[in-house]
Structures are given as structure tokens and as C-alpha cells.
Amino acid sequence: MTDTGRTYLDHNATTPLREAARQAVLEALATVGNASSVHAEGRAAHHIVDEARRTLAACLGVRPEMVIFTSGGSEANNLALRVKDARSLIVSAIEHPSVLAPARADGRPFRQIPVDVAGMVDLGRLEALLDEAEAPALVSVMLANNETGVIQPVKAVADLVHAHDGFLHVDAVQAMGRIPVRFMPLGADLLTVSAHKLGGPQGAGALIADDRVRLDPLIRGGGQEFGRRAGTENVAAIAGFAAAIAEISEKPLPSGQLRDELETGLKAIAPRVQVFGAAAERLPNTCCFALAGLAAETALMGFDLAGVAVSSGSACSSGKVAPSHVLAAMGISDELASGAVRISLGWTTTQEDIEAALAAWDGLVERHKARPAA
């Protein structure tokens, strides 16, 4: 429960700032210099960025020079698609819009990998697409989906991609801090992470890039980030990012117990509720569900009035409740998908929060049952 007395269960959209990250931001804000300046003040700012780079590198198992700081996950995803040597793009149908939109607009041949009803990428179809594509191809498959929490077989994807001499980008924004994420075991060539999903500040992210990847900068005009991303670094946000990722690396990962209790309660109240992706391995914090006939707008309003913050899926569409391309790709009917609600737990979530969510859901279902038939 937050200081306002409300229950916050929308951690996949953003998670509250950790105290260590807050302190790191405040300390960095007291540093006056530009990290590109050579005087003492500039060197002080540069030191903060360098230390943060080393922290991220150590947590992800990479060398510091592989870390490119960006303004967030969306920018990192856009940059990841700008692999100079890739002649075609292959992207899973359930990727975040910050991958799908630039891929469609790129101009190179673009194909989508379908998923099954559980939300898992079709490896057989990926292999066929790689056979057909102009090589080398750049493939983008997220580690875990932001709406359903479904975890993808990224290592198997990497093996296929590299057997075809391609490049693999993995969006690990939702996975980081919830399941183990290390660069080398995944087999990725590029990896995206974001601060505000970990308890860091909004406005900072990173793209991890292997040495063999040559990137065409998305932002030009300066030599920052080893010439791969121009612009004065957001020193305070980067410092907070590093503090957050360092803290989560020292703590046990979520067990999934609270999520399982939530889902058991949802089904006890409304046995016909459907949990999307339940047949696949999922993040331990994510539950995306729907009850036929109960619109998402109604459910979100009911939860909110009961003091519980949840969402209808991705929070990157100007706050609008729109049809989910993820659920559509899974073959979920428009009618059922239009009622999809996502509850996502985080580092502040307690047993009391789960009870508050279930009480709100109970009230919603009771009102839904009492509604006159159309």
C-alpha cells in the first residue's frame, strides 16, 4: 500500500523509486559538471556515469564498454534495430510497440514471428523465416512479455539466429529484477533494460551491444557513449539506475507466491475468469486476465474507485484502453480481449495489497452479476 492509502499493482508500467536510487539521484543532482567537460566538475560527473556503467556491466555480466546509456527502454529498442549489417528484420508479433513501430517503418524487409495460444513464439516458423530472409537478419524477441508475463525461449531463438549468421536483440525490460538476466547465457547480441521497471528513476535505460554489432546512431551530434548515442548524459537518472540495479542484484528474486494467491482468489470469485498465458512459464509478478462480458474500462474504473491501481496492458498508449496486439496474436477473441486487465506486482507489494485487489474484484463481479441482461 502506498503512502496515500491506495494499493499500487501496476509495476509493469513503472515501479516505485527505491530509497537507494532516490539518494543516488539527489547526490548526483548536486554535481554541477557536464560529463563531457575536462575540468574537475566535468570529471566528477563523468566519474558518476563511469561508476554506473561498471555497475550495470557487472550485474549483467558484460564489459563496461558494451553499455550504452539511453533515455529509456523505448530509445534503446529503437537503437537496437539500427544494426548496420542487417539486411532484413524479423520481429515477434508480441513485441513492445517501441520495437514493432520502428521495425515496420525501417524500410528493410520485415516479417513477424507468430505465437501460439499460450503466447510462445513459433520456433519452427522462425526457422522458416530465417531461411527465406535476406541474410544477415536482425531478429528481435523479448525475454518476457509486458502484458502476459510469458517468458520466451530466448536461448533456443539465439541458436537458430546464429546458425543463420544473424543478430539477436532481446528486450529484457520487464524481465530484469524478476527472473535471472545475464547477457551471455541468453545468447543475445543486443539487450535492452530500463531503470523505472526496477525501482530506478524514469528517463534512463541502456542498450547492451556485443562487439560484433555495428550500430548506426539514432541520435547524432556528439561523441558520448563511445560515439553510439549523442547528447549530454542524464547523470542523475543514470546514477539512480545503477543504484536500483545494484540493489535488486543483491536480493532474492520474486517467488511468485503472491501472484499465485491472487490468481487463486480471482478464480474463486469468478470461476469463468481466464488467465492469459497460464499454460506457459511466466514472470512471477504478472497476471493478465479477463471475464467475458466485463469490459476493461469498467474493470479499471472499479478497481480505481476501490483504491487499487491496475492496468489494461501496456501503459504506453497515452492512457487509452486499446485492443491488445499481444492477445490478438495469441488468437484471443476481440470480445474477450476487450476485457483484459493486467495486475503486476513489485517490490512494495504485500499480502494486504493482494487482499485489497481481491476485495475490489469481488465487488466488481457482484455488480457485473447484478447488471440487467442486454
Please state the domain extents for the chain: 7-16+253-370, 19-249
pLDDT exceeding 70 applies to what percent of the chain? 96
pLDDT at 372: 65
**Average pLDDT score, the chain:** 95
Supply the pLDDT for residue 369.
83
**Which entry of 59, 287, 288, 316 is annotated as an active-site residue?**
316
Task: Pick the closest to residue 234 from 198, 190, 202 (CA basis).
Answer: 202
Residue showing cell 472499479: 302
- Please give the distance of CA 220 from its chain centroid, rounded to a whole number: 26
320: confidence class by pLDDT, cuts 50, 70, 90? low
What is residue 374's predicted lDDT score, i.e. its pLDDT?
53
8 A C-beta contact, residue 230 and residue 222:
yes
What is d(CA 217, CA 99) in angstroms, rounded to the nearest whole number?
16
Domain 19-249, architecture per CATH: 3-Layer(aba) Sandwich (3.40)
The Cα–Cα gap between 220 and 64 comes to 21
DSSP one-letter code for 321? -
Q: What is the pLDDT of residues 260-309, one digit of tens each?
A: 999 999 999 999 999 999 999 999 999 999 999 999 999 999 999 999 99
310 and 338 Cβ atoms separated by less than 8 Å? no
What gap in Å lies between CA 186 and CA 192, rounded to an integer? 12
- Confirm whether 7-16+253-370 and 19-249 share one CATH topology: no
Tell me which CATH code domain 7-16+253-370 carries.
3.90.1150.10
Over residues 217-226, the pLDDT tens digits come to 999 998 999 9
> Would residue 287 show up in a list of annotated catalytic residues for this protein?
no
Which pLDDT tens digit goes with each residue over 168-208?
999 999 999 999 999 999 999 999 999 999 999 999 999 99
